[in-house]
Amino acid sequence: MRAASMRMRLHQFALRLRHTFKTARGAIDTQRTLVVELAEDGQHGYGEATTSAYYGCTIDNMAAALEAVRPRLASCSLGNIDPAALWEELDPQLRHNRFAQCALDQAAHDLWGKLRRQPVHRLWGLDAKQLPPTSYTIGIDTIPVMVAKLQEVPDWPIYKIKLGTRDDLEIVRALRRHTDATFRVDANCGWDVDEAIAKADALRELGVEFIEQPLPADRWAATQRLFAASPLPLIADESCVAEPDVDRCHGRFHGINIKLGKCGGLTPARRMIARARQLGMRVMVGCMTESSVGISAIAQLLPLVDYVDIDGALLLARDIAAGVTIDRGICRFAAEPGCGVRLLPLRH
């Protein structure tokens, strides 16, 4: 048995965005984020969780949750324990703050892979040769500004368009005049059921592939009605937070969007994917507005999913880390093992 020597360090960053990012729930110019660093045997693993007013996660409450498990981390070694086993052991202490749990789980996987000199997806037995492309997100703004945002990243294979305004169809029509790419739309809970049914037909004619979270998360009866009537597939986001929600979404959505911060990290995300597959549902992985720390962890899941939305780091004015890279939707893994993450020498 190897001597335990794991150490944890917490880093806070304010991620400045290239453009104001607006959804049906609000707008931001800067995103605060917490990076967990785990160190052992000269190797360093990193994980990330952003703050979220919607889910009640702050830097302070995430840091407090992580400080509570520091003594246990100092007495164990990822040379001897699998990250999934560590997640299960610490779950009773961390389940009240899934975002903090996510950052720690990502860091544990990154360190686990680096200690074994293998990428995480390869340690899971996954083949990364054929990966689905990621969409690029166009946040809500005036139509000319949204068109300009699209034109900043031409030739992208898929664009995810944030909707939830009175001008939704006009927005999509205007963007369609500038590209033949696949469109996906995300209303972020911004529609009611009648509005969603009315818009879905027009969106299908405009080349939209699916609608993400059209209704508020708790409108289960209305969502079931929409599921029966919609000409486009529906993908759950806010309605699918953690593992028990997968079954609840079955029969109300055609697929689920898994975000690591919501569910608590890579460990539960893999179980959610497996359960969705058992139910015959489609699977998407998504991101918050986060750095390449979090994006590189999410990317380890790409061989398992149908749809990808991991453009968060591309929306930043300046990244804080190096890891996976994305070129016109195609994700390329870093040469480093683990999740391939290293922090850049930037001020916090």
User: What CATH number did the domain enclosing 337 receive?
Assistant: 3.20.20.120
Which pLDDT belongs to residue 22?
Answer: 84
**CA–CA separation, 31 and 11 (whole Å):** 14
Q: Which two tokens stand for residue 295?
A: 């994006």
Number of compact structural domains in the chain: 2
Which pLDDT belongs to residue 228?
Answer: 96
**CA–CA separation, 164 and 312 (whole Å):** 20
Residues 86 and 44 in one domain: yes
> Residue 181 falls within a domain, yes or no?
yes
Contacts of 262 (CB under 8 A, 6+ apart): 55, 98, 99, 240, 241, 242
- Compute CA 10 distance to the chain's CA centroid, rounded to the nearest angstrom: 21
Domain termination site, one of 122, 139, 160: 122
> Residue 169 falls within a domain, yes or no?
yes
**How do strand 26-40 and strand 158-162 relate by DSSP bridges?**
unpaired
Which pLDDT belongs to residue 346?
Answer: 65
Instruction: Give the bridge partners for 212, in sequence order.
Output: 186, 235
Q: Which two tokens stand for residue 161?
A: 């368009």
**Tell me, what DSSP letter sits at residue 243?**
T
**CA–CA separation, 214 and 196 (whole Å):** 7
Domain termination site, one of 89, 122, 155: 122
Residues 312 and 189 in one domain: yes
Furthest-apart CA atoms within the chain: distance in Å: 64
Domain with 23 in it: what CATH number? 3.30.390.10
Residues 26 and 74 in one domain: yes
Residues 230 and 284 in one domain: yes
**CA–CA separation, 329 and 314 (whole Å):** 11
> Residue 253 falls within a domain, yes or no?
yes
Give 53-67 pLDDT, tens digit per residue. 999 999 999 999 999
**CA–CA separation, 346 and 183 (whole Å):** 35
Residues 134 and 82 in one domain: no
Site of tokens 């460990």: 267
- Structure pTM? 0.95
| Half-sphere exposure in the Cβ direction for 12 (13 Å, CA) | 9
Which pLDDT belongs to residue 27?
Answer: 87
Residues 39 and 106 in one domain: yes
Q: Which residues of the chain have pLDDT under 70?
A: 1-4, 346-348
Instruction: Give the bridge partners for 257, in sequence order.
Output: 284
> Residue 2 falls within a domain, yes or no?
no
- Compute CA 176 distance to the chain's CA centroid, rounded to the nearest angstrom: 26
> Residue 91 falls within a domain, yes or no?
yes
Which pLDDT belongs to residue 153?
Answer: 94
Residues 150 and 253 in one domain: yes
> Residue 347 falls within a domain, yes or no?
no
Domain termination site, one of 68, 91, 122: 122
Residues 63 and 141 in one domain: no
> Residue 215 falls within a domain, yes or no?
yes
Residue 34 structural domain:
7-122
> Residue 274 falls within a domain, yes or no?
yes
Residues 299 and 233 in one domain: yes
Residues 153 and 297 in one domain: yes
Residues 118 and 130 in one domain: no
